[in-house]
Amino acid sequence: MSEHHPAPPRTTSPVGNDHRQRPAVLGAAGDGWVEFDLPGVGIGTAEYPDGPTGVTVLSIPGGARTAVDRRGGAVGVSGGFPYHHALCFAGGSSFGLAAASGVYDELLRRAGYATDFGSLPVVSGAVVYDFTPRDNAVYPDAQLGADGLRAVRTDGVAVGRVGAGVGATVGKVDNARAEWGGQGAAFTRIGAARLLVLTVVNAMGVIVDRDGGIVRGNLDPATGRRRHPAEDYAELLAAATPDPAPAGGNTTLTAVVTNVRMTDTELAQFATQVHSSMHRAIQPFHTIADGDTLFALTTDEVTVPSPSLRLGTVAAELAWDAVLASVETPRRAPVATAGVAAG
């Protein structure tokens, strides 16, 4: 499939969830695969190919303390709690928040419908707007959220156009120059410390590699050249041209999961450090037209010295790997940081 996608004319479509014809796809293959080994953590995907649109469910049955870092002008999150048993990333914009209720439904069923206070699960939902490249109103609903949880695996996750990232796009200075985004992931183990980054990239900005090259987004279909958005905006500034409204419907959702114990303050700073670092891979990032949100979660299993600083620095590089994996088959080995003490 071509990386570029021309934006279709936006119309009101009678095709919604009530008119879907094809069944949900659980655990789609995507464009690549990232293995991980983080005990107690699993990831599952489910999609409605009639959209296409989908969900990605991060499952932590034993629970994980959480810090949430919200950036940009259009955040779409339900919950955002300081503790989680699952996260549900979904397409469908605000309609896709319904998918998280399906994760709750499935967790209730698995608990034998126990409703005592100690049995209540904690789930947050977060969404991306993926209606731009399609002309229907299909969205991830509660059934698809439950399907995503049922598809959870603990050995790896599909990346590329899959799950919540199946309809993601990037480089939307002009929708006609947008290209497909997707879901990315990266994992590393350093001593006793383990780190997993999961991201769904549906950004206004372009994706930039470590050499400074633009690898996806803002593609001129006439020349085949990808432009940095700074070039476009510099020209508009120089010409004093009225700035058209930025393309709306942009969000990058990220989860950084570790087994390293941190205080609440350290975990919050860890989330901020990693989220801030992602501007190197996505440019521009955290704009008024984006709803970027990062969840930092820890299972509190191991102790390392100075966890926020050391782990945050490593996780920042891993997050860059994950962003790149969203649009290209992972080729780079997981970040190696021999100089970082793992305790």
Catalytic residue list: 251
Residue written as tokens 């001593």?
Answer: 191
* CA–CA separation, 104 and 124 (whole Å): 10
For the four alpha carbons of 154, 170, 282 and 2, in that order, the dihedral sign comes to: positive
Residue written as tokens 């699993």?
Answer: 42
CA-closest candidate to residue 321, choices 253, 329, 68, 89: 329
* CA–CA separation, 258 and 255 (whole Å): 10
Give the CA dihedral 194, 122, 34, 127, nearest 10 degrees. Answer: -130
Query: 10 Å Cβ neighbour count for 261?
Result: 16
The secondary structure of 109-168, three-state, reads HHCCCCCCHHHCCCEEEEECCCCCCCCCCCCCCHHHHHHHHHCCECCEEEEECCHHHCCC
* CA–CA separation, 200 and 287 (whole Å): 16
* CA–CA separation, 248 and 132 (whole Å): 9
* CA–CA separation, 240 and 27 (whole Å): 49
According to DSSP, the residues that pair with 258 across neighbouring strands are 195, 298
| Cα distance from N-terminal residue to C-terminal residue, the chain | 46
